[in-house]
Structure 1
């Protein structure tokens, strides 16, 4: 089966390389592509947070591995690609929950999007409290260490 997707928007920001840390200082503007009507953003400002689904268009197929130590750190366990959130994924799809800062016409401005300048956006969804997980979120200890500077 083949799935063909057309980007609905594009990211503009100051990050031109996929560096692993310090994403909270990056403010991104997401602008709708010409084939998406402006009305697609109607009432989006009623939400504080959005889920952004994007395409890692700069990832080359040869960099995709299905298991490894996160960030190559020997202190972390071997983890399958589906137990990590790295960009080198089989379908090159990224997902991030962002804070919506502003909506103006065909653009939105967001914080905490870990996508570089020019990244194609595949979809945008508002965050509903009712879709958030119930109960405690479980994760291994190495994740907190890996993430300690990601949003700083």
Structure 2
């Protein structure tokens, strides 16, 4: 396979919210996705206020680029969970350092999108923003291993629930 490469530019940046990435307790985290006003007109967000949720693609910009683990390893280094490969994880240790998050859209203020439960920290470059369409969600039965439920049980809990 040829190594295809291409350039990607951020369309926005996360403002506010959390400053440190952590494994859990993202529930209730509020921040703003500030779209680049030099490249996008105010009407770039027209119609977005009709949606309750967004899907956001972002860059894990604080991750150490030498901390790439393409092979199998135990999630969160927990010996009770099975080793899984890089494509069996959703963490930041990825070749392109891309994250995908679904968050609540609270308000649209021009090119500022006020959101909740976005698991990206202040200063995170946002690659793309899409409204969540229910019809584009999973179809059919959903299957996943039990360890994912254990690992993520506190992911969207509030910080005061710890």
Q: TM-score, normalised by structure 2?
A: 0.90
Q: Classify the secondary structure of the residue corresponding to 2:107.
A: strand
Q: CA deviation at 1:28?
A: 1.3
In the other structure, the counterpart of 1:148 is 153
Aligned length: 152
RMSD: 1.0
In the other structure, the counterpart of 1:32 is 35
Structure 1 residue runs without a partner (length 5+): none
Structure 2 residue runs without a partner (length 5+): 158-162
Give the strand-richer structure, 1 or 2. 1
In the other structure, the counterpart of 1:59 is 63
Q: TM-score, normalised by structure 1?
A: 0.96
Q: CA deviation at 1:106?
A: 1.3
In the other structure, the counterpart of 2:160 is none
Please state if 1:104 is matched with 2:109. Answer: yes
Q: Which runs of 4+ in 1 moved over 4 A?
A: none
Q: CA deviation at 1:36?
A: 2.0
State how 1:3-152 maps to structure 2 within 5 Å. 3-33=6-36, 34-66=38-70, 67-152=72-157
Q: CA deviation at 1:38?
A: 1.9
